């Protein structure tokens, strides 16, 4: 199962990505999680990333590809798939990732793009109500993140829609209800794997 998740900040793609990865037994590759780990290590890379994350801006395409593409190819080769959460996030990233996959003769192109959607007022409520106190979730930064998402991600949705692989899911309901809708759609593409011993 090879899934790309597209969703505005606050739509729950991290939570749903973990659930999908568990159901189909493939790695969950979250760009945000990878970036935050680097920032926490205070590595030179983390220091570069911190400025973008704190401002709610997108990390530059070349930096994203350098950090994530190797993980994607490895997951496809070793685990038979992946759930990509937050990558690709721009049209240039998607096109570059596709070209890199083709040149590596890797079977890494997505089978399905899950588009989790919710109204802006719902997303703002979730972003500003998070308890972790993340620096990137103040109201001003939250609004900026949603604007950046809308500007950069709509072309991606159009790009993948042209390939006929977009499945739109309403992310407004409770988490379990959203999961059921996602699984109903994905199970038609590939049955869930049964864990060893279960």
Please check whether residue 170 is in contact with residue 118, taking contact to mean a CB–CB distance below 8 angstroms: yes
Give the number of other CB atoms < 10 A from CB of residue 29.
20
Residue with tokens 């049964």: 194
The reply to whether 130 belongs to the active site is yes
Q: Which of 130, 151, 180, 188 is catalytic?
A: 130
Q: With b meaning 16 or more CB within 10 Å and e meaning fewer, what string describes 122-140?
A: ebbebbeeeeeeeebbeee
23 is catalytic: no
Name the catalytic one among 134, 143, 168, 193.
134
Catalytic residue (choose from 2, 13, 19, 126) = 13
> Which one is catalytic: 2, 19, 23, 89?
89
Catalytic annotation present for 13: yes
50 tagged catalytic: no
3-class SS string, 70-128: HHHHHHHHHHCCEEEECCCCCHHHHHHHHHHHHHCCCCCCCCEEEEEECCHHHHHHHHH
Based on the residue annotation, tell me whether 2 is a catalytic residue of this protein.
Answer: no
The residues carrying an active-site annotation are 13, 89, 130, 134, 145
């Amino acid at each position: 199962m090879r899934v790309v998740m597209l969703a505005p900040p606050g739509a729950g793609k991290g939570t749903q990505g973990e659930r999908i990865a568990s159901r189909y037994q493939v790695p969950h590759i979250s760009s945000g999680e990878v970036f935050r780990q680097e920032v926490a290590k205070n590595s030179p890379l983390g220091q570069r990333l911190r400025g973008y994350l704190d401002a709610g801006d997108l990390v530059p395409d070349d930096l994203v590809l350098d950090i994530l593409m190797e993980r994607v190819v490895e997951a496809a080769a070793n685990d038979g798939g992946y759930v990509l959460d937050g990558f690709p996030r721009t049209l240039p990233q998607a096109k570059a990732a596709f070209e890199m996959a083709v040149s590596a003769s890797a079977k890494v192109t997505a089978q399905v793009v899950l588009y989790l959607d919710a109204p802006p007022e719902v997303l703002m409520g979730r972003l500003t109500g998070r308890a972790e106190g993340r620096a990137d979730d103040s109201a001003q930064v939250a609004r900026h993140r949603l604007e950046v998402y809308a500007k950069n991600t709509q072309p991606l949705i159009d790009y993948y829609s042209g390939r006929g692989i977009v499945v739109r899911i309403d992310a407004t309901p409770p988490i379990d209800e959203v999961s059921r809708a996602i699984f109903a759609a994905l199970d038609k593409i590939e049955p869930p794997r049964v864990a060893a011993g279960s």
